[in-house]
Amino acid sequence: MGGAMAAGMVASRRLRDLLTRPLTASNHPGLSISLRLTGSSAKQEASGVALGEAPDHSYESLRVTSVQKHVLHVQLNRPNKRNAMNRVFWREMVECFNKISRDDDCRAVVISGAGKVFTAGIDLMDMASDIMQPRGDDVARISWYLRDLITRYQETFTVIEKCPKPVIAAVHGGCIGGGVDLVTACDIRYCAQDAFFQVKEVDIGLAADVGTLQRLPRVIGNQSLVNELAFTARKMMADEALSSGLVSRVFPDKEVMLDAALALAAEISSKSPVAVQGIKVNLLYSRDHSVAEGLNYMASWNMSMLQTQDLIKSVQAATEKKELKNVTFSKL
């Protein structure tokens, strides 16, 4: 115990020494570190030098690749079906993101769609029997079956939110129905100029029930616009998605957008995973609680997280004009 206390005192003195050095942006450009990717090097770093299937990720409806260190790329991978969400997809998304949550080498995720669109939404041909012919002998039993089915489908996208690693949605073409449920559960959304977003469920006679009605109002902060989109199923085009806050950036085409999303993931993955994952957890907690409750949770969180070696490494990198991508942080 005495050894641990001594080590803690040494670490505290080291951090104090680092913090008391004069730090200015002009003398220490490392204080404003950013990942700047340009030209051919940008494409190489953003796309990954050697694409490879991620170990332990083998799916029918998804393709998961390790595109660069600490970054995974999850693709909706039914391009011939416009990435429609079939029974297999609803199960595999949960499996995939539960594995990513436990993957201590992964620090950021990009999710996109293979082919011409992000997703056409629910695969009605595949899912019709579950919805139109539910199991059960009477109203009570049918209702219990449907409730269980809906809550399992809700988990398909809630699992993205529960994943402590930041998830970046990269949308091109149509993002329809369940696609809006999916992207609103992500942390950051980029889109290509050809993208559009459509809360389509009202056109097939139901209210969206796996996340859009709960998350979209919080994402864009405009209840009138949310109501309009949900009541009419009209398309929201890329420029409106940007101005409303649904996406943070719009790009000319899918390739440029994916490069930017992967570059962003690389920049995030260069930071302390203790800090990044703590930020995500606390942002989500604060979204659903009062300011006072959020501050109290944050204090309880950081009473332990401030004791990480990542803090010392990050401050030392800044004083030495060293980019964080060259700092080795332990796995988390």
From the candidates 201, 211, 268, 310, which is the catalytic residue?
201
pLDDT of 38-94, one tens digit each? 333 334 333 333 458 888 899 999 999 999 899 999 999 999 999 999 999 999 999
Beta strands in 48-179 (DSSP E): 62-68, 71-76, 108-113, 167-171, 174-176
CB 271 within 8 A of CB 33: no
The answer to whether residue 122 is catalytic is yes
What tokens does 84 get?
């429609």
CB 119 within 8 A of CB 182: yes
Residue 51: the pLDDT is: 57
Positive or negative: CA dihedral 283, 288, 290, 294: negative
From the candidates 45, 181, 194, 310, which is the catalytic residue?
181
Beta strands in the chain (DSSP E): 62-68, 71-76, 108-113, 167-171, 174-176, 188-192, 196-198, 236-237, 249-251
Task: Choose between 20 and 110: higher pLDDT.
Answer: 110
pLDDT of 265-322, one tens digit each? 999 999 999 999 999 999 999 999 999 999 999 999 999 999 988 888 888 888 888 8
Res 3 pLDDT > 60? no
pLDDT of 228-268, one tens digit each? 999 999 999 999 999 999 999 999 999 999 999 999 999 99
Task: Choose between 144 and 327: higher pLDDT.
Answer: 144
Residue 81: the pLDDT is: 95
Residue 7: the pLDDT is: 44
Contacts of 42 (CB under 8 A, 6+ apart): 259, 263
Tokens 């899918």 -> residue:
254
Fold for 273-326, please state it.
Answer: Lyase 2-enoyl-coa Hydratase; Chain  A, domain 2 (1.10.12)
From the candidates 126, 130, 155, 209, which is the catalytic residue?
209
Task: Determine the 3-state secondary structure of 237 from DSSP.
Answer: strand
From the candidates 122, 176, 188, 220, which is the catalytic residue?
122
Task: Determine the 3-state secondary structure of 66 from DSSP.
Answer: strand
Of the given ranges (24-28, 105-109, 121-125, 276-280), which has the lowest mean pLDDT? 24-28
The answer to whether residue 176 is catalytic is no
From the candidates 173, 178, 211, 278, which is the catalytic residue?
178
State how far Cα 198 lies from the chain centre. Answer: 20
CB 261 within 8 A of CB 190: yes
What tokens does 31 get?
């204080």
What tokens does 151 get?
């809550």
Res 108 pLDDT > 80? yes
The answer to whether residue 178 is catalytic is yes
Residue 13: the pLDDT is: 53
Q: Which class for 126: exposed (0-12), middle (13-18), buried (19 or more C-beta within 10 A)?
A: middle
Residue 14: the pLDDT is: 52
How far apart are alpha carbons 120 and 84 in whole angstroms? Answer: 5
Fold for 62-269, please state it.
Answer: 2-enoyl-CoA Hydratase; Chain A, domain 1 (3.90.226)
pTM: predicted TM-score of the whole model, two decimal places: 0.83
pLDDT of 14-43, one tens digit each? 545 544 444 333 333 333 333 333 333 334
The residue extents of the domains of the chain are 62-269, 273-326
Cα dist from 166 to 261, 274, 281, whole Å: 12, 12, 10
pLDDT of 181-209, one tens digit each? 999 999 999 999 999 999 999 999 999 99
What tokens does 285 get?
């907690």
